[in-house]
Amino acid sequence: MQRRRPRGWAHPDLGDVDLGRVLDALGDPVRLEVVRQLAAAGGVVRGAFDVPVTGQTLSHHLRTLTTAGLVRVSQAGRFRCCELRAREVEQRFPGLLPAILANAGGGAVRMMPP
C-alpha cells in the first residue's frame, strides 16, 4: 500500500527548524513519551500509542512534533503511520535525541535505525 502525507500535515525541512522549537516540543511529557515509543519501535500506527490522552489530543501532540521536525506522519489507507525522523534530527542536532531519551525517566532507549 502506498503511503502519502495526510492533508494539512507539514513536514518542515530540518534546516529551517531551530533548537528552541524542538526542545519546546519535547518539553511536554506526552510528546516525550510518543518520541520514546517511536524511537523504541521505529514506527507506530497512530492508534497504537500507549499514552493517557484522547485521540484528538494525541493528534494535537503529533502535529506539534511534526511541525517541530521530529516526526513524519504518512497515510496508508485509513491508517496514519508515524515515524521518528531520527537520522535527520541527528544530522541537524548531533546527540540531542539520544541524550534526551536517556534522561526521559524510562532509562536508555535504543533507537531503531531509520
From the CB of residue 114, how many other CB atoms can be counted at a distance below 10 Å?
14
In order of start, what are the domains of the chain with their CATH numbers? 14-102 (1.10.10.10)
- Specify whether the CB–CB gap between 99 and 109 falls below 8 A: no
Render pLDDT for 4-61 as a digit per residue (tens, 0 to 9): 555 556 788 888 889 999 999 999 999 999 999 999 888 777 778 889 999 899 999 9
From the CB of residue 91, how many other CB atoms can be counted at a distance below 10 Å?
11
Give the three-state DSSP class for 77: coil
| pTM, 2 dp | 0.81
Give the three-state DSSP class for 20: helix
Label residue 99 by pLDDT band (50, 70, 90): very high
